[in-house]
Amino acid sequence: MAGRRLQLPLLCLLLQGATAILFAIFVRYDQETDAARWHWGNHSNTDNEFYFRYPSFQDVHAMVFVGFGFLMVFLQRYGYSSLGFTFLLAAFTLQWATLVQGFLRSYRDGHIPVGMESMIDADFCAGALLISLGAVLGRTGPAQLLLMALLEVALFGLNEFVLLCLLEVRDAGGSMTIHTFGAYFGLVLSRVLYKPHLEKSKHRQGSVYHSDLFAMIGTMFLWIFWPSFNSALTSRGAGQPRTALNTYYSLTASTLSTFALSALVEEDGRLDMVHVQNAALAGGVVVGTASEMMLTPFGALAAGCLAGAVSTLGYKFFTPILESKFKIQDTCGVHNLHGMPGVLGALLGALVTGLATHDAYGDGLQTVFPLIAEGQRSATSQAVYQLFGLFVTLAFASAGGGLVGFLLRLPYLDAPSDSQCYEDQIYWEVPEVHDKVQEALRMEEADSQA
Amino acid sequence: MAGRRLQLPLLCLLLQGATAILFAIFVRYDQETDAARWHWGNHSNTDNEFYFRYPSFQDVHAMVFVGFGFLMVFLQRYGYSSLGFTFLLAAFTLQWATLVQGFLRSYRDGHIPVGMESMIDADFCAGALLISLGAVLGRTGPAQLLLMALLEVALFGLNEFVLLCLLEVRDAGGSMTIHTFGAYFGLVLSRVLYKPHLEKSKHRQGSVYHSDLFAMIGTMFLWIFWPSFNSALTSRGAGQPRTALNTYYSLTASTLSTFALSALVEEDGRLDMVHVQNAALAGGVVVGTASEMMLTPFGALAAGCLAGAVSTLGYKFFTPILESKFKIQDTCGVHNLHGMPGVLGALLGALVTGLATHDAYGDGLQTVFPLIAEGQRSATSQAVYQLFGLFVTLAFASAGGGLVGFLLRLPYLDAPSDSQCYEDQIYWEVPEVHDKVQEALRMEEADSQA
Amino acid sequence: MAGRRLQLPLLCLLLQGATAILFAIFVRYDQETDAARWHWGNHSNTDNEFYFRYPSFQDVHAMVFVGFGFLMVFLQRYGYSSLGFTFLLAAFTLQWATLVQGFLRSYRDGHIPVGMESMIDADFCAGALLISLGAVLGRTGPAQLLLMALLEVALFGLNEFVLLCLLEVRDAGGSMTIHTFGAYFGLVLSRVLYKPHLEKSKHRQGSVYHSDLFAMIGTMFLWIFWPSFNSALTSRGAGQPRTALNTYYSLTASTLSTFALSALVEEDGRLDMVHVQNAALAGGVVVGTASEMMLTPFGALAAGCLAGAVSTLGYKFFTPILESKFKIQDTCGVHNLHGMPGVLGALLGALVTGLATHDAYGDGLQTVFPLIAEGQRSATSQAVYQLFGLFVTLAFASAGGGLVGFLLRLPYLDAPSDSQCYEDQIYWEVPEVHDKVQEALRMEEADSQA
């Protein structure tokens, strides 16, 4: 017990110490943030580049942490953990992703340069981590999650490097690198960590009225700032506003189709809050790759509409099958919000890529598809690369999730027992009000030991 | 019953299908978002134009949906609906407003160009819709609300077109086009939908402690982002910072006068949360027209102070009269927050317009009052146009609200009965916790049928 | 009783009237907001200056009011007051700080010019006020708080003027001017207002499950927007992105060390929500002075790590001693979040200043340390000035807090009795749900009079 008590503190300090040492050795301000290397002569370029990135950075930062953090508060007795572990993962991931992404993508002369762009990159990586967290939420302890982050960030970075730098695939809003990767990593991980007697914690798995309202804070933030998320790292010029616009319309369409399907599939025509909280957002995922391209406003509506419908049907019909037949427990339904819409988004991206012409993009072809503009690839060949990128992502995510799953099953880690899932009191001091819960838990535990 | 069950899904799909087809035919990327038409030569203009609009767009987006959405969560059993219907209306309105505003204001060569500016325009229209929703909240079903949106958006667009394009009235922050229109449309609509036995739902009409805290999320967002809302579509140059500044000070003054009046009118000197949640925001409404102008910082304080006082007194004394004498039920008190302050804002705008001189505005006259600068109108004549704009708005809003009211009274629509108002369970699956409520509702319904 | 009832309204109206008159006489639009003085020829300077400031302004505005406002909602029965008094203080402070800071820092030709920069300045001042509020929250009435604001703003402005304009100390994110000043002012004030029988209100001093989740909204906003807060008024060029980056990493490190220490110091290894809500933010405070400088990313991590640890240990061990030995009651633990980390931040700032060289800063030395660049001070001498700035701040804060404390002890003011602390019903109409609380309160009051 004393060992378990020390596990989280020691792990935190160890990881913080290690990243701090690596920061001291390798990480340096980039041209934008280094007082000595900034030149006012660059005014019209560098300076504006900063204006260009800064508001996007704050929007992404708000969306990822407020958005994913509060979306997970829907669980009635797991709000402290949902928000607290979001912070914990964020804190470690942002440091560690800076190092991993830096080594793979911008390491030069013995140093990793950091600035606004690397901060947005790290935020994106944290987004993928929080998606994976959504799959195993309530069935994993904080020390397990830190170990997951240690490995998942490395794999995320590797996959992203292969896609963006080796295959030169386009994926500005991360349908593949963020959503597909995060979701399938988490789902395979969840499969390996399968809890056979989870029905003992079933009564805590749902929401209560107020916890659903808290979750809607997350939904709102995701819905509002998704245009900035998808466009944060697009090329300057028409790229960013077009990406924002496509995302904006795609989300409106996924919201309408979610309401339609939600009322349709429930027996008495009532709406389901879970669908609105989640499936309404599928429009942001499905255009993660294609929103940067000349998708057309109609294309954005059609894609969003489809994604909302698929996601809602997923929640209603597929999640129960996933659990009963495939033994994959998926707390937040990330398969419906990030998995299927992410794969659809990758396919849509490949399709729109294959249709790219010089006429449609004009000079903008250079910024969206530089290899096509330079004649190194045809549109069709770039589309095949896009599809290959999806395949690579699924492979990395599945292998990684499986591997990490076996690691997290190590004894001595802080996994909750089957009867203690979805319960804050395992990891947090909770105000007296929950005394009765504590009693009930003690009895449950006694039961499960008997 | 089966028909009613299919009503919402079919309406959603029908409207989504129709707007999607219209998007396919008419809507195209504008110069800013079209890869082929963006020119780097335009760098110092177009490019900066985008920097200029983008942060404003995200602020407005956050303010309208988080702000109005959560402000309506004060009702104790209507949080799912308040937030859910906000999403539903937003999703349809943003698409439909793009079409309506596009046809009226920017249609050219068979196409409607869309970009950051049209997105802000559509968000503004959604703001007016949510204000109208505030008047009838809890007494209308989602299918009714979609029909309302279908017609109200068209009328909003028409009124806006008449004011901004035909009368060439100035109304950057929408005291007339958004607040006055939205409020009086909703109030007349509410009059037509008058529910005589609403006392049967009275016990659900108030707030509980936690629902008031959720509502304060909305208040906070509105208060904070109102400077961006009023200034989002002002002219470049001094216009945007001045508008933001006037709004900032006006809100501080309306907050102070709200606290003063709230403590004064309550019998025991206690403060009323409803006043703080709403009347404190009246300062943003009252400078919706004039904040763009040379109102002076003192003028902003005086206007805000007046608006906060009028709004607080409205909640205390006028809302009860509105219901008892005029049979106008006003769930959120939009008459106090948007109606009266909107009319005051239009009058203030006319006054400040009438005082405009070349000396006071210098070169800036061209951007704020182009017709005066070009000598086509005198300041007085522009002021008369402003007043006429208010009159037109009141006429459009009242006629429209009445018309739509009669449509929404059609049988077969999903209006709740007088005893089922302000209750989420009519339209939503609600977690078990509310089982007792469900029972009580069943009994109520039995009662009301007896 | 009638007098007490009129106290708050009259004070609000009096203060609003007085500031309005002063605004009329002195406050004028600055070059950026005045239509007549804006020149398009300045385009590349003034215009960009506005783009530069505007998103920062909205981020700061959101952080200060949503952040500090909701962070204080952790008290179970004081949510209305926490949010309401935040609004009340904000409303008056923003007006009054404009005047005080304007007179001291930008008064010229009989006028105070206002624009984006003065709005950010006033927001910063409001931040300090809300920190002081955190120390005395629940034990002071709204009229007392308005009087506190009247005097504290004046002292804040004076201290800021001495530091920034006379001593020419660097303090972009306000480790000294905002955090140290706000915290020690509030703590000394709390000492003077010491309530000996506070155990009578002890049962209301803690949180409940939902109030903790509301508080996490505040934590999230502070954590997310702190990079913008610290960088809002830094010099253009590399200064702003570097400041944001240092703050970003410092916060990740303080979060990790908070989790480590929180689990370590609790008997059973559980985490404490109070630590996560507060100590995780200490990384933002500790780099308030140094984040603008060439702290290096490693330096940011080390500083954040230390601050999180000190803050967590403060909550666990120091706050109880502060109350029992020093008779300083500190509702929100501002000594741990703002006091100690603020002092550490000032010391860190002095250290990094002392290490400044021409090599490290290059041309950027002019913007960060103009006096060193111009040869008027050596780095060591500037460091000594920085230390002196800390000393001055502590002196102003302590003397000011003491002075204001004696004023607030005046009879007739609206202080709650020892048994009525941390209770909304003293100042607010609260929905029926709390009827039992009201009864209990009545009994308590009867008890305390007996």
Instruction: Per-residue pLDDT tens, chain A, 450 aa: give them.
Output: 456 688 999 999 999 999 999 999 999 998 888 888 766 544 444 445 555 677 788 999 999 999 999 999 999 999 999 999 999 999 999 999 999 999 999 998 999 999 989 999 999 999 999 999 999 999 999 999 999 999 999 999 999 999 999 999 999 999 999 999 999 999 999 999 999 999 888 888 889 999 999 999 999 999 999 999 999 988 777 788 899 999 999 999 999 999 999 999 987 889 999 999 999 999 999 999 999 999 999 999 999 999 999 999 999 999 999 999 999 999 999 999 999 999 999 999 999 999 999 999 988 898 899 999 999 999 999 999 999 999 999 999 999 999 999 999 988 888 999 999 999 999 999 986 544 555 555 555 555 554
> C256 vs A62: CB contact, 8 Å cut-off?
no
pLDDT above 50: residue B272: yes
- How far apart CA B141 and CA B85 sit, in angstroms, is 9
- How far apart CA B207 and CA B71 sit, in angstroms, is 12
> C364 vs A36: CB contact, 8 Å cut-off?
yes
pLDDT at B20: 95
Residues in C closer than 8 angstroms to A47, CB to CB, are: 48, 236-237
Residue A124 C-alpha, separation from nearest chain C C-alpha, in angstroms: 15
Name the pLDDT band for B50 (thresholds 50, 70, 90).
low
Phi-psi region of C410 (alpha: psi -120 to 50; beta: other; left: phi over 0): beta
| Cβ atoms of residues B401 and B189 within 8 Å | yes
> B116 vs A244: CB contact, 8 Å cut-off?
yes
> B242 vs C35: CB contact, 8 Å cut-off?
yes
The 10s digit of each residue's pLDDT in C45-71 is 444 555 567 778 899 999 999 999 999
> A363 vs B39: CB contact, 8 Å cut-off?
yes
Residue B446 C-alpha, separation from nearest chain A C-alpha, in angstroms: 19
Closest Cβ–Cβ partner in B248, B263, B365 for C9: B263
Residues in A closer than 8 angstroms to B54, CB to CB, are: 55, 240-241, 244
Residue B6 C-alpha, separation from nearest chain A C-alpha, in angstroms: 7
A432 residue type, one letter: E
Chain B residue with CA closest to A227: the answer is B58
Name the pLDDT band for B42 (thresholds 50, 70, 90).
very low
Average pLDDT value for chain B: 90
At a CB cut-off of 8 Å and minimum separation 6, what does B50 contact? A240, A241, B32, B116
Chain C residue with CA closest to A429: the answer is C272
Residue found by looking up tokens 């900066």 in the block: B48
Residues in A closer than 8 angstroms to B61, CB to CB, are: 224, 227
Residue B284 C-alpha, separation from nearest chain C C-alpha, in angstroms: 13
Name the pLDDT band for C32 (thresholds 50, 70, 90).
confident
What's the rounded mean pLDDT across residues B145-164? Answer: 97
- The neighbours of chain A, by the rule of 3 or more Cβ pairs under 8 Å, are B, C
Output the CA–CA distances (angstroms, integers) from residue A217 to A126, A346, B86, B215, in the order listed: 19, 28, 13, 12
> B16 vs A305: CB contact, 8 Å cut-off?
yes
Closest Cβ–Cβ partner in A10, A32, A65 for C224: A65
Q: How many CB pairs under 8 A join A and C?
A: 209
pLDDT at A47: 46
Residues in B closer than 8 angstroms to A272, CB to CB, are: 428-429
Name the pLDDT band for B44 (thresholds 50, 70, 90).
very low
> C212 vs A95: CB contact, 8 Å cut-off?
no
Output the CA–CA distances (angstroms, integers) from residue A363 to A164, A231, A331, in the order listed: 22, 19, 46
Structure tokens belonging to residue C154: 């004046």
pLDDT at B39: 61
Chain C residue with CA closest to A4: the answer is C269
> A88 vs C259: CB contact, 8 Å cut-off?
yes
> A224 vs B29: CB contact, 8 Å cut-off?
no
At a CB cut-off of 8 Å and minimum separation 6, what does A391 contact? none
Burial A105-128 (b: 16+ CB within 10 A, else e): ebeeeeebbbbbbbbbbbbbbbbb
- How far apart CA A138 and CA C271 sit, in angstroms, is 16
Name the DSSP letter for residue B235: P
> C36 vs B212: CB contact, 8 Å cut-off?
no
Chain A residue with CA closest to B31: the answer is A238
- B412 versus C406: the higher-pLDDT residue is C406
The 10s digit of each residue's pLDDT in B138-152 is 999 999 999 999 999
Chain A residue with CA closest to B15: the answer is A256
Disruptive mutation site among B30, B40, B54, B208 for chain A (greatest number of A CBs within 10 Å): B54
| Cβ atoms of residues A281 and A222 within 8 Å | yes
Residue A348: CA count within 13 A, CB half-sphere: 34
pLDDT above 80: residue B222: yes
Residue A135 C-alpha, separation from nearest chain B C-alpha, in angstroms: 22
The 10s digit of each residue's pLDDT in B96-139 is 999 999 999 999 899 999 998 999 999 999 999 999 999 999 99
> B360 vs C65: CB contact, 8 Å cut-off?
no
> A58 vs C257: CB contact, 8 Å cut-off?
no
**Helix axes A2-26 and A142-161, enclosed angle (nearest 10):** 30
Structure tokens belonging to residue A89: 């993962």
What's the rounded mean pLDDT across residues C361-365? Answer: 89
pLDDT at A73: 95
Name the pLDDT band for B69 (thresholds 50, 70, 90).
very high
Residue A243 C-alpha, separation from nearest chain B C-alpha, in angstroms: 8
| Cβ atoms of residues A324 and A268 within 8 Å | no
Residues in B closer than 8 angstroms to A266, CB to CB, are: 429
Residue B387 C-alpha, separation from nearest chain A C-alpha, in angstroms: 35
Reported ipTM: 0.93
Residue A191 C-alpha, separation from nearest chain B C-alpha, in angstroms: 28
pLDDT at A206: 87
Residues in C closer than 8 angstroms to B284, CB to CB, are: none
What's the rounded mean pLDDT across residues B367-394? Answer: 95
Dihedrals phi, psi of A82, to nearest 5 degrees:
-55, -45
Chain A residue with CA closest to B215: the answer is A213
Residue C324 C-alpha, separation from nearest chain B C-alpha, in angstroms: 33
pLDDT at B47: 46
User: Looking only at Cα atoms, what is the longest distance across chain A?
Assistant: 75
pLDDT at B237: 73
Closest Cβ–Cβ partner in B207, B242, B280 for C431: B207
Residue B44 C-alpha, separation from nearest chain A C-alpha, in angstroms: 9
Nearest by Cα to C245 from A278, A50, A139, B18: A50
> C61 vs B280: CB contact, 8 Å cut-off?
no
> B364 vs C36: CB contact, 8 Å cut-off?
yes
> B48 vs C51: CB contact, 8 Å cut-off?
yes
> A47 vs C236: CB contact, 8 Å cut-off?
yes
Question: Where would I find the H helices in A162-208?
Answer: 181-192
> A38 vs C221: CB contact, 8 Å cut-off?
no
- The neighbours of chain B, by the rule of 3 or more Cβ pairs under 8 Å, are A, C
At a CB cut-off of 8 Å and minimum separation 6, what does C206 contact? A431, A432, C75, C76
- The neighbours of chain C, by the rule of 3 or more Cβ pairs under 8 Å, are A, B
Residues in C closer than 8 angstroms to A6, CB to CB, are: 264, 269
